[in-house]
Chain A
């Protein structure tokens, strides 16, 4: 969890960020427009030097959810062992957030994975390609409106018979 002094300083800097705590984990919900600024401040002024993970949640059909995608950044300060969860929400069409590869180099593949599976575009990413699925895949399968068994991608291959081999 983050130190109370850190949270107080962040509250003073960003009045529109809401903080909450659950089982010793500090969570900050940031409006989409100031996400890059908040992350930059966390890195440069509060020394959150490790980006643990970038991931995403699809809130389609989720009870009480107002936004479609929740983007999650897990940060850690390796000097003080503080941890903070930064969240923001994006919506269809064209869900886009600024890339943080400029802040943490390790965000490169994490953002590529989120793009691959959820189709969230990271503006300013140096190399936004698919990372897990094959290049020719057209969908983003971890979205809730993608069918579990796919759209026939798993059967779209030539058949090799004894005659052909």
Chain B
């Protein structure tokens, strides 16, 4: 027996609904250590206006955030701090590695600069550029929103996928 639904009722999956809510209220945690931080501020400011994507609420406490934006190089003295911030954020959480330095160490191939934060914390999106323009960061946020909408589940089952559990491969120095 088919159920007759009135025209003003929409049927969807709960996962989809929850992901839709999450992706449109990403609260970024700015971890800005260098010139990428300036572009990050420009992205949040009125000209580029991150509020259009629901991500304008920068919070300076990791307890209130679900999107870590690492903007700038991370030195080895700061890495334990970065890891602690990541651990303090609530699930579900995502991470954007913004700029060449955060992603690979950039031109700073020296003893004190970590050669890519993805060696030590999980990263969902990489933004190339030195520093990236605000448009690029916005594109990364839009792509992340799409990723959340596509694979997101209510209880975060997508984070248990084996390919997201593996530590990064290139950890040894040659």
Q: Using an 8 Å CB-CB cutoff, how does the interface string of A137-156 with B read, 1 for contact, 0 for none? A: 00001000011111111111
Nearest Cβ on chain B to A138's Cβ, whole angstroms: 12
Residues of B within 8 A of A134 (CB): 76-77
Residues of A within 8 A of B166 (CB): 161
Q: Which of B115, B121, B172 contacts A154 (CB 8 A)?
A: B115
**Interface residues, chain A, CB within 8 Å of chain B?**
133-134, 141, 146-163, 165
Q: Tell whether, in the assembled complex, residue A154 and residue B86 are in contact, meaning their CB atoms are under 8 Å apart.
A: no
Residues of B within 8 A of A159 (CB): 119-120, 167-168, 171
Q: Tell whether, in the assembled complex, residue A149 and residue B120 are in contact, meaning their CB atoms are under 8 Å apart.
A: no
Q: Which of A149, A153, A158 contacts B109 (CB 8 A)?
A: A149
Q: Cβ of B87 < 8 Å from any Cβ of A?
A: yes
Q: Tell whether, in the assembled complex, residue B164 and residue A162 are in contact, meaning their CB atoms are under 8 Å apart.
A: yes
Q: Cβ of B128 < 8 Å from any Cβ of A?
A: no
Q: Using an 8 Å CB-CB cutoff, how does the interface string of B106-129 with A read, 1 for contact, 0 for none? A: 000111111100011110000000
CA distance A154 to B76 in the complex (A): 5
Q: Tell whether, in the assembled complex, residue A155 and residue B171 are in contact, meaning their CB atoms are under 8 Å apart.
A: yes
DSSP class of B's interface residues: helix, strand, loop or mixed?
Answer: loop
Q: Tell whether, in the assembled complex, residue B77 and residue A133 are in contact, meaning their CB atoms are under 8 Å apart.
A: yes
CA distance A134 to B112 in the complex (A): 10
Listed A/B pairs (10) with beta-carbon separation below 8 Å: A134-B77, A146-B111, A149-B173, A150-B112, A155-B115, A156-B76, A158-B83, A160-B83, A160-B120, A161-B166
Residues of B within 8 A of A148 (CB): 109-111
Q: Using an 8 Å CB-CB cutoff, how does the interface string of B72-83 with A read, 1 for contact, 0 for none? A: 000011011001
Q: Cβ of B8 < 8 Å from any Cβ of A?
A: no
Q: Tell whether, in the assembled complex, residue B122 and residue A154 are in contact, meaning their CB atoms are under 8 Å apart.
A: no
Residues of A within 8 A of B171 (CB): 155, 159
Q: Cβ of B159 < 8 Å from any Cβ of A?
A: yes
Return the chain A residue nearest B88 by Cβ: A165
B150-164 contacts to A, CB under 8 A, are 159-160, 164
Q: Cβ of B46 < 8 Å from any Cβ of A?
A: no
Q: Tell whether, in the assembled complex, residue A150 and residue B111 are in contact, meaning their CB atoms are under 8 Å apart.
A: yes
Q: Tell whether, in the assembled complex, residue B173 and residue A152 are in contact, meaning their CB atoms are under 8 Å apart.
A: yes
A134-B76, A162-B164 are known; give 13 further A-B pairs, CB within 8 A: A146-B111, A147-B111, A148-B111, A149-B109, A154-B76, A154-B113, A154-B114, A159-B167, A159-B168, A160-B121, A161-B165, A163-B160, A165-B86
